[in-house]
Structure 1
């Protein structure tokens, strides 16, 4: 069985027509004066899904999260959670909890009293509060720090306390607004996997807002790529990366080379594009632009081969150029090849061995090449 990328788990209720969404945004619009932050947006999220809202600043993702939490109200449209329309329901009555980027811990309270705060506000009996706090401290591995105050903790430890406080009230949905932005790179990467494991162990629905592509790709079951208040594509990380539905998504997610050109042949499962970069591209494609139409072809750097020799037996999907730049990144090497047409192409290769015989060098004449199914024809 072929798949686009590795499969983290078999969980995929969105592929089952009988599955009902747990959260539904139905034609939701949010205006702030003349500015449209969210524009007639519809989106479904399923029970136990780890869903990421991904986009650049100002795309509407945080506004969408705040409307789900109840801190903002839609100008029009509906938000449905577990079959209930959330219109008019205040934040404290909603079965959701939100973890903010700043963590918003009370500086004068200890770790355990920070975690207990919401439970006390709800009038939970003291013995039950103590038991729940103990459970949360164990869950986030912070038992030995229970008596400390926030200023005595590292950034990663404060993040864990904020997470424990958010989970203490056992919400149906946990909302995370840029939750790892304050952590350093190594700790952020470690915490991403901890959040994934925690979400699956608890069986909760997580909705995370982030502008970090790697963060979304790592943690989420599905990603909603947003721009200008709209959802551009909703799919699994592998589908977003390997099969973007537009030029915007292809360019926004990861590194990509885009070749523009004119369609010279369009068949049922293959297309030929005469690229402006000076060579012909033949690609497996279900898209059927007409002959003579303009088209784009997107291919990731790791799908492109770089070599000294003309690729054998292939008059297409290959072009000659000059090696302009080389970056050794440890796990991989990145090449910038300037084609004879002047277009610069980015390619990369995994450094699977420590020593390389006769490595490529600057200013060498090289050929790039790729397979017919290595890239995707773009709709726009």
Structure 2
């Protein structure tokens, strides 16, 4: 039997030229009066995919989810699910279910009654309901809590009840609107992996809305980053982090240093950039479409090395500065290095040893360096 990790690693239907999307948003626009919440957006999601809509408040991600659920209708464009146009189909007739951040459990009902509610509404026979409820409670590991009321449960347990109720009707697609927002950090991290395992075991398509970058990076097969009702990039978590498509994406996902500059010339497949301070940056395998003019070089803090002494002569991409600030976080130390032109560059170093030599402190002179393949060139 394959492990879930193996399944996730090999799952990439979007890379198959013959693959057909399961959910298609085609030129979707949604207006509320004079406000455009979603602007001519197109997006494709594949069957069994764990897909995340990521963005700040007001970017249109929840509106997109509500249109898929049937609670809102697009102003223009269409939404297809397994080839069927969903326009005009009411929420209760769509093969989707939605789990809200508030969980919306019935306080007067027990756990098993909450899970059974939708099945009773559909007229399922009692024996089948009992069997399905037992199956769902086992799936979310709440068999021992079947008779309890919601107020007798922890936040994480209530979240699992809501999840069991959402999947009990076996929808084709489960929509999750900030599903872990009410949980504390430790429980949220644990539940992320539980959701991933549950999604794989059920074989459903999950579409989750979140503003939490770490949550999206952990759970999703692919992420769509939204801003002002438009898609900025759709890619796997690794691609979004390592190869952002724009300054916005680079700055939104994780921490990044953006070094503005201009193209100084090419050396084969390498690009040389002159930074604002005159510093020379050598970039390996820069895209061919990068021409002349103003560009940005994006590099993550963990790709930058900080040293109290200058690197060996001939080392590329070296800049001198001063430790402006630092933070010791236990597993790593974060340095803010102020360069000669006043720009502050963030660098992080793992604390792999209990004691280190040549520790840097505030106001110390320091040299930062990075390899030519450590960052990415951005033209927009």
The TM-score range, normalised by the shorter chain, is over 0.9
CA distance in 2, matches of 1:357, 1:218: 35
Q: Which residue of 2 aligns with 1:369?
A: 369
The separation in 1 between residues aligned to 2:333 and 2:294, in whole angstroms, is 33
State the 1:336 CA deviation. Answer: 0.6
Per-residue CA shift, 1:9-29, capped at 9, x if unaligned? 110000001010000000011
Q: SS at the partner of 1:101?
A: coil
Instruction: State how far apart, in whole Å, the 2-side matches of 1:196 and 1:312 are.
Output: 46
Deviation at 1:315, TM superposition (A): 6.0
Give the alignment of 1:167-178 within 5 angstroms: 167-178=167-178
Partner of 2:120 in structure 1?
A: 120
Structure 1 residue 156, shift from structure 2 partner:
0.5
| Alignment-derived partner of residue 13 in structure 2 | 13
Hey, what does 2:141 align to over in structure 1?
A: 141
Contact 1:277–1:343 (CA under 8 A) maintained in structure 2? no
Measured after TM superposition, the shift of residue 314 of structure 1 is: 3.0
CA distance in 1, matches of 2:51, 2:314: 42
Q: CA RMSD in A?
A: 1.3
- Residue 10 of structure 2 aligns to a residue whose secondary structure is coil
Which runs of 5 or more structure 2 residues have no equivalent in the other structure? 1-5
Partners of 1:25 and 1:43 within 8 A in 2: yes
TM-score calculated relative to the size of structure 1: 0.96
Q: Is the 8 A contact 1:261 1:276 kept in 2?
A: yes
SS in 2 for 1:27: strand
Partner of 1:280: 280
* 1:111/1:149 contact within 8 Å kept: yes
In 1, Cα distance between the equivalents of 2:174 and 2:26? 20
Comparing 353-362 with 92-101, greater Cα deviation is found at 353-362
Within 1, Cα distance between the matches of 2:110 and 2:27?
43
CA contact (8 A) 1:132 1:168 kept: yes
Whether the 8 Å contact between 1:259 and 1:277 is mirrored in structure 2 is no
> Offset of 1:287 from its aligned partner?
4.3
TM-score by length of 2: 0.96
The 1:41–1:267 alpha-carbon spacing in structure 2 relative to 1, beyond 3 Å, is farther
Matched residue, 1:160: 160
Three-state SS of the structure 2 residue aligned to 1:9 is helix
Match of 1:346 in 2: 346
Alignment correspondent of 1:290:
291
Superposed displacement of residue 308, structure 1:
1.8
- Aligned residue for 1:185? 185
After TM superposition, give the deviation of residue 330 of structure 1 in Å: 1.1
Aligned counterpart, 1:48: 48
Residues 1:150 and 2:150 are matched in the alignment? yes
- Give deviations 1:319-342, integer Å, cap 9, x for gaps: 100112121111111001111221
Per the TM alignment, residue 105 of structure 1 is displaced from its structure 2 partner at its CA by 0.5
Count of paired positions? 374
8 A contact 1:287–1:379 mirrored in 2: no
Given that 2:316 and 2:370 are in contact with CA atoms closer than 8 Å, whether structure 1 keeps it comes out as no
Conserved in 1, the CA contact under 8 Å of 2:56 and 2:227?
Answer: yes
1:149 offset after TM fit, Å? Answer: 0.8
2:3 matched residue in structure 1: none
Deviation at 1:7, TM superposition (A): 10
Contact 2:30 2:37 in 1 (8 A): yes
- Cα deviation digits, residues 52-84 of structure 1 (max 9, x gap): 000000000000000000000011111000111
Secondary structure of the 2:21 match is: coil
Q: In structure 1, the residue corresponding to 2:67 is in which secondary structure? A: helix
Q: Distance in 2 between matches of 1:115 and 1:34?
A: 40
The residue number in structure 2 matching 1:3 is none
Which residue of 2 is the match for residue 210 of structure 1? 210
Q: Distance in 1 between matches of 2:290 and 2:117?
A: 59
Distance 1:59 1:368, change over 3 A: same
Instruction: Name the SS of the counterpart of 1:92 in structure 2.
Output: helix
Distance 1:277 1:104 in 2: 55
Query: What do residues 241-299 of structure 1 show as CA deviations (whole Å, max 9, x unaligned)?
Result: 000000000010000000001111135522111101341111121143333x1110000
